[in-house]
A and B are shown apart, each in its own frame.
Chain A
């Protein structure tokens, strides 16, 4: 588990090392911000998954919504 976490952080660091100098060179502050936020969010989701913490599956949520809609309409999906 911790090896996976380490590998993931290494991957994120590699991506950042590749992208950040290009963004700094261009002086694209908005791009840098978007990059940092999106990488942070993606990294958090991945870390939660690696640490086997509760991450709700979007599939279950979609199935729940469709079932609820179907029962409201009086049928089955």
Chain B
């Protein structure tokens, strides 16, 4: 299919940038207000567990993608059905992230530009990266993610004189329930979305390093997201966090150092562009590779541009406006993502384990693959 190889370092950068994605700017899961940072910390732990699940599956089926092992576990017909559902999920989330980016751009920087222009340009850039393959995409991550981290630290540093730590108090005044609800939402968006990497993990040079790479990437990204949300709460306060869809952008607009260093929100926008690009490209790549594997194409590149046209249409079709987008992200997305991110992978792992137990050798093991 694609004879590309990426190093564990590249995977770590790509995964970190992927998790940053649009989450650095978009904060739909802030029902718990000033306690959202606790939800972020808990979701980081949850995300690490979920990623451990995907990595275990990948380790059990070395060199196989999600499409391959879903067919091996469920059989050709049911496995292909599961693979098609995953392809739909990857395409849908890619379109959702494109729309997040477009809504942000329309709301904050380019209010008079038709949505099709912003969506079209971003999709074209991602299509170009996807066509060039996972090696190029990983190198993009390697170059761009350190810049994202630098920009985050710069914005956090420049906001220092606006921090009001008392905004974080009192802790848990409304109890655990809103925090747990946010934790659930945050575990599915962004951490659980790492399921898209199940199509990329076979390209890892050393499959033994999957867990050692994926889990730290999730923890690092989660800690940075927590830092950003703590900063937003200290600057804006708990109630504003709940109401504002782009809290980081709003807080960064308050930076004023000596009355001349202002308008640094451009760094937040740059982070959204980089993160959005990486996230969309990973989903886009996974979807293209999935389609190519399902229909047995020699090269996935053939369908990259047609799928790009579909993504542009889909992202415009998804919602009518920003409130509708936020409502879907807040109330429905977690339930929609649950089967793809948790139920199906757990089911696959259990079935692989049971079938291996019945046959007396682990399913997907090297020994079994050699015999086949």
Is residue B299 within 8 Å, beta carbon to beta carbon, of the partner chain? yes
Is residue B305 within 8 Å, beta carbon to beta carbon, of the partner chain? yes
Is residue B43 within 8 Å, beta carbon to beta carbon, of the partner chain? no
Considering only residues 273-292 of chain B, those with a C-beta below 8 Å from chain A are 291
Is residue A25 within 8 Å, beta carbon to beta carbon, of the partner chain? no
B272 → chain A closest CB, angstroms: 22
Best-surrounded residue of B312, B313, B332, B336 (most CB of chain A within 10 A)? B313
Contact A45:B302 (CB < 8 A) given known A57-B318, A77-B332: no
Residues of B within 8 A of A28 (CB): 298-299, 302
Whether B331 and A39, one on each chain, are in contact in the complex, defined by CB atoms closer than 8 angstroms, is no
Whether A38 and B306, one on each chain, are in contact in the complex, defined by CB atoms closer than 8 angstroms, is yes
A52 → chain B closest CB, angstroms: 12
* Chain A 31-74 per-residue mask, 1 if CB under 8 angstroms from chain B, else 0: 11011001101110110010000010111001100100110000
> Which of B297, B324, B331 makes the CB contact (< 8 A) with A77?
B331
Question: In the complex, what distance in Å separates the CA atom of A55 from the CA atom of B331?
Answer: 24
> Which of A39, A49, A70, A77 makes the CB contact (< 8 A) with B313?
A49
Is residue B258 within 8 Å, beta carbon to beta carbon, of the partner chain? no
> Which of A15, A57, A58, A69 makes the CB contact (< 8 A) with B306?
A15
Contact A30:B298 (CB < 8 A) given known A57-B318, A58-B314, A62-B332: yes
Is residue B317 within 8 Å, beta carbon to beta carbon, of the partner chain? yes
Whether A31 and B305, one on each chain, are in contact in the complex, defined by CB atoms closer than 8 angstroms, is no
Whether A62 and B336, one on each chain, are in contact in the complex, defined by CB atoms closer than 8 angstroms, is yes
Best-surrounded residue of A30, A42, A66 (most CB of chain B within 10 A)? A42
Q: How many residues of A contact B (CB 8 A)?
A: 31
Is residue A5 within 8 Å, beta carbon to beta carbon, of the partner chain? no
Whether A15 and B305, one on each chain, are in contact in the complex, defined by CB atoms closer than 8 angstroms, is yes
Closest to B311 in A: A42
> Which of A30, A49, A58 makes the CB contact (< 8 A) with B297?
A30
Whether B332 and A42, one on each chain, are in contact in the complex, defined by CB atoms closer than 8 angstroms, is no
Whether B314 and A39, one on each chain, are in contact in the complex, defined by CB atoms closer than 8 angstroms, is no
Question: In the complex, what distance in Å separates the CA atom of A55 from the CA atom of B241?
Answer: 35
Residues of B within 8 A of A15 (CB): 305-306, 309
Question: In the complex, what distance in Å separates the CA atom of A11 from the CA atom of B69?
Answer: 37
Whether A59 and B328, one on each chain, are in contact in the complex, defined by CB atoms closer than 8 angstroms, is yes
Closest to B320 in A: A57
Question: In the complex, what distance in Å separates the CA atom of A12 from the CA atom of B307?
Answer: 12
Is residue B177 within 8 Å, beta carbon to beta carbon, of the partner chain? no
Question: In the complex, what distance in Å separates the CA atom of A39 from the CA atom of B127?
Answer: 14
Contact A19:B302 (CB < 8 A) given known A38-B307, A46-B313: yes
Is residue B158 within 8 Å, beta carbon to beta carbon, of the partner chain? no
Whether B295 and A34, one on each chain, are in contact in the complex, defined by CB atoms closer than 8 angstroms, is yes
Whether A35 and B318, one on each chain, are in contact in the complex, defined by CB atoms closer than 8 angstroms, is no
Best-surrounded residue of A11, A18, A34 (most CB of chain B within 10 A)? A34
Whether A66 and B335, one on each chain, are in contact in the complex, defined by CB atoms closer than 8 angstroms, is yes
Residues of A within 8 A of B303 (CB): 34-35, 38
Residues of B within 8 A of A34 (CB): 295, 297, 302-303
Is residue B92 within 8 Å, beta carbon to beta carbon, of the partner chain? yes
Residues of A within 8 A of B116 (CB): 4
* Chain A 3-36 per-residue mask, 1 if CB under 8 angstroms from chain B, else 0: 0100000011001001100010000101110110
Residues of B within 8 A of A55 (CB): 317
Residues of A within 8 A of B296 (CB): 30
Whether B302 and A23, one on each chain, are in contact in the complex, defined by CB atoms closer than 8 angstroms, is yes
Residues of A within 8 A of B310 (CB): 38, 41-42, 45-46
Residues of B within 8 A of A32 (CB): 302
Whether B317 and A63, one on each chain, are in contact in the complex, defined by CB atoms closer than 8 angstroms, is no
Question: In the complex, what distance in Å separates the CA atom of A12 from the CA atom of B332?
Answer: 34
Q: What are some 17 contacts across the A-B interface (CB < 8 A)? A: A15-B309, A28-B298, A31-B299, A31-B302, A34-B297, A38-B303, A41-B306, A42-B308, A43-B309, A45-B314, A49-B313, A49-B316, A49-B317, A62-B336, A66-B335, A69-B335, A77-B331
Q: Apart from A32-B302, A42-B306, what 18 extra A-B contacts exist at CB < 8 Å?
A: A15-B305, A28-B298, A30-B297, A31-B297, A31-B302, A35-B302, A38-B303, A38-B310, A42-B309, A43-B309, A45-B314, A46-B310, A49-B313, A49-B317, A55-B317, A58-B318, A62-B328, A66-B335
